[in-house]
Amino acid sequence: MSVVPESAPNKDDVKAALEASSAQAQAQARRTALIRTGLALGALVAVVVVVNVFSHGSFLTATNLTNVLRQITFNAILAVGQTFVIITAGIDLSVGSLIELTGVVMATFANAMPFDGVPLVLATLIVGLLVGCFAGFVNAVPVVRLNLPPFITTLAMMLMARGLAFKLSHGRPVALTSSAFDTIGTGFFLKIPVAVLWMAVIVAVFAILLTRTRFGRYVFAIGGNEEAARLAGINVRFVKTMVYVISGGCAAVSGLLLMARFSSGSPQTGIGSELQSIAAVVVGGTSLMGGRGSVIATFLGALLIGLLNNAMNLLEIESYTQDIVLGAVILIAVVIDELRKRYLRGAAG
């Protein structure tokens, strides 16, 4: 229903407003998107050119770039889930441990099953997802019911999941007995690593979920103003719970890919991954204050970090220096992002 005060505006008014809306809107959206991704892309190009020169051309080779993509799959998938959590102004510190826990559980499960092949892979994936999503659910309950800070609940889960992974595996990697996972771990499809295809599908699906569905819109609304979202009839508890479940699920998929890659589920592979994923999200321009962010930008953030790591390896920069550079890049990224925001917000009187 719409209501007309005083006099009815004629159809031309509406049409004009609509035309102005769509034309200007598209221009504005395009400009914002351009600024948002432009910086990340510009940085990428600069790095690529410099590194390629200094590494005598070994950087810009198909093999090397494929390698980079394969290396970032784990982090990129974690960061996709993390993006949803961070847009609601939350944080998920447990994802690193969940890689380990789901990896150990999945490897143990796969070894115990009497069947093999694709059914085994599917069954294992489902078990991993159940574990990861359940852990995400446990993360969320105190957050949505008692309003506890997610920093605390996910920190607790980080400790519990890591401890449990060690206990279940007795501190040793659980070697896979089946070779059914080799395709995922090391296989190629049309010259592209299978794991990279998994990542592409996940990035695409979640990018659509975030930008084109009601659920995604609600995620932004909750991060922007939780009370306004609640009063608009949005089931805030459900949506917030689901972002942690998604994050746990992404950790499980990451755990599966990692397990497949190394043919074992290990209780130590995820240390520091949670911070890597947060770094990718932040470098991608998502605000830790919530209400803003993008899956594609997060992917670019993960890609930038991956390329930097790879470039520094090619340039034979020692690992301590690499950490310094990475830290500096994250800092510069958030500073640039803040300046960009101020520029865009300058119009607010």
Binding residues for another protein, rule: CB under 8 A, are 1-6, 8-9, 13-14, 16-18, 20-22, 24-25, 28-29, 208, 212-214, 217-218, 220-221, 224-225, 227-235, 291-292, 345-349
**1 versus 62: smaller Cβ distance to another protein:** 1
CA terminus-to-terminus distance, the chain: 32
**28 versus 179: smaller Cβ distance to another protein:** 28
Q: How many whole angstroms separate alpha carbon 237 and alpha carbon 104?
A: 31
What are the structure tokens assigned to 81, written together? 């889930």
Could you tell me the smallest distance in angstroms from the CB atom of residue 72 to another protein? Answer: 28
Question: 54, 268, 237, 281: which is closest to 174 by C-alpha?
Answer: 268
Could you tell me the smallest distance in angstroms from the CB atom of residue 220 to another protein? Answer: 7
**9 versus 57: smaller Cβ distance to another protein:** 9
What are the structure tokens assigned to 237, written together? 């508890």
Work out whether strand 174-175 and strand 188-189 pair parallel, antiparallel, or are unpaired: unpaired
Could you tell me the smallest distance in angstroms from the CB atom of residue 96 to another protein? Answer: 30
- Are residues 236 and 225 in contact, defined by beta-carbon separation less than 8 angstroms? no
**6 versus 318: smaller Cβ distance to another protein:** 6
**7 versus 63: smaller Cβ distance to another protein:** 7
- Are residues 251 and 134 in contact, defined by beta-carbon separation less than 8 angstroms? no
Show Cβ contacts of residue 56 under 8 Å, excluding neighbours closer than 6 positions: none
Could you tell me the smallest distance in angstroms from the CB atom of residue 80 to another protein? Answer: 19
Question: 270, 259, 262, 260: which is closest to 104 by C-alpha?
Answer: 259
Phi–psi pair at 120, nearest 5 degrees: -65, -45
**187 versus 224: smaller Cβ distance to another protein:** 224
Could you tell me the smallest distance in angstroms from the CB atom of residue 243 to another protein? Answer: 17
- Are residues 291 and 27 in contact, defined by beta-carbon separation less than 8 angstroms? no
Could you tell me the smallest distance in angstroms from the CB atom of residue 333 to another protein? Answer: 20
